[in-house]
Structure 1
Amino acid sequence: MTASNPFTAPVTLTGPHARLEPLSPAHREALAEAADDGALWKLWYTSVPAPERMAAEIERRLGLRDAGSMNPFAVFDAQGRAAGMTTYMHIDAANRRVEIGSTWTRASCQRSALNTQCKLLLLQHAFETLDCIAVEFRTHRLNTQSRRAIERLGAQLDGILRSHLRMPDGTLRDTCVYSITAAEWPTVRNHLQWQLDKPRSA
């Protein structure tokens, strides 16, 4: 593992609504159960490992960590239940840029404070510890739920990469690229904290 690289060094990030732990093979069973909540692997517009593929997906992400291009996390909710996975990916340490992506969240934790908390923790670490100049988010053009969630963070749409990736079913994905810059971070941080602090409807 490239522990000398701060972008891939293991770190645990904790807030009132979520905890992000360095991904390990020990998380396989709990994450397989989380993916089964909502049968997330059946969604055509995203890529979530089926429960029986969880071990292979963990191994893939750890391989990318060892290669220096990803820092993967297992996500847990406030009760300590496995909620999903997220990563710093496409790490460009020389230019101090990362993408927050390869994220999925069990159905029963969606539309809760968990996602906002995760993004606040990841963005705070990226800008205030890793000294990033920009953080990217990418998603399928037709994944409207994901696009709205990214836009609620305060990220700006940089553009759309057309026919960017081939999906597992053979279709071509148009990829929406969003980013938050270091100059925007203080305002985004205040906005995300306000979202977490405001009363939430039941």
Structure 2
Amino acid sequence: MWPAPVTLTGDHVTLAPLSLDHAPALKKASADGELHRLWYTWIPKPADMEDEINRRLSLQKAGAMLPFCVMTPDGTPVGMTTYMNIDAANKRVEIGSTWYRSSVQRGPLNTEAKRLLLSHAFDDLGCIAVEFRTHFMNHQSRAAIERLGAKLDGVLRSHMDQGNGVLRDTAVYSIIASEWPAVRANLTWRLEKPRK
């Protein structure tokens, strides 16, 4: 299996292989700020958490996804992220299906999680590119992706049906291997600079 399950650990976050054991805490995380009510993204309702974990684990068995539970340093689950749309032949992955409970957003957790995922993809897996996709209207997500140093490849208009009567325009971003040293330096600087 490429990529194989792995635990990635930093100072502000741990990314561990997702399991059903994480469901109770992830239900609480989803309820924090009622994230599942956002119209431009899909975050599982607390009642649907086991189904979502099982969906991600099924995609992992099929070789299409590597799901992680996002945890604070004390081991509390606060969200999920994945490598998805895995293309082993071309050494490409997408980092996506990411969400965090409201109380940990806008802090160092996301920056470090992305640095860990990008480092593993480029330095350990030898990826030639890492992709990010989000709803065109998800301005918070797009700004966060751009702060990473990813470049906009384009917008796929009317790309997918969200299941709520809305067609999603998908903004597609990527970081290629030659850009990784500068992106890594930027993320390290962001993590080390004093926070106000």
For residue 113 of structure 1, the aligned residue among 108, 119, 123 is: 108
Residue aligned with 1:87, SS: strand
TM-score normalised by structure 1 residue count: 0.96
Q: Distance in 2 between matches of 1:129 and 1:6?
A: 11
TM-score by length of 2: 0.99
Code of the residue aligned with 1:48 in structure 2: it is I
Amino acid at match of 1:173: R
Query: Which residue number corresponds to residue 2 of structure 2?
Result: 6
* 1:35 partner letter: S
Residue pairs, 1:90-169, within 5 angstroms? 90-169=85-164
The CA RMSD measured in Å over matched residues stands at 0.6
Q: Structure 1: 5+ residue runs without aligned partners?
A: none
Residues 91-118 of structure 1, C-alpha deviations (whole Å, 9 max, x = no match): 0000000000000010000000000000
Aligned-residue sequence identity (percent) comes to 62
Structure 2 unaligned runs (5+)? none
In the alignment, the residues of structure 2 paired with residue 77 and residue 131 of structure 1 have an alpha-carbon distance, to the nearest angstrom, of: 27
In the TM superposition, structure 1's runs of 4+ consecutive aligned residues that sit over 4 Å from their partners are none
Instruction: Pick one of 47, 52, 67 that aligns with 1:52.
Output: 47
Deviation at 1:168, TM superposition (A): 2.5
Provide the rounded CA distance (Å) in 2 between the counterparts of 1:179 and 1:6.
Answer: 20
User: 1:178 maps to what in 2?
Assistant: 173
1:35 paired to 2:45: no
1:15-26 maps to which residues of 2 (within 5 A)?
15-26=10-21
Aligned length: 196
Q: Which residue of 1 aligns with 2:56?
A: 61
Q: Give, in angstroms, the shift of residue 170 of structure 1.
A: 1.5
- For 2:24 and 2:153, locate their aligned partners in 1 and report how far apart those are by CA, in whole Å: 37
Query: How far is 1:77 from its partner?
Result: 1.4
Q: Which amino acid aligns with 1:73?
A: F
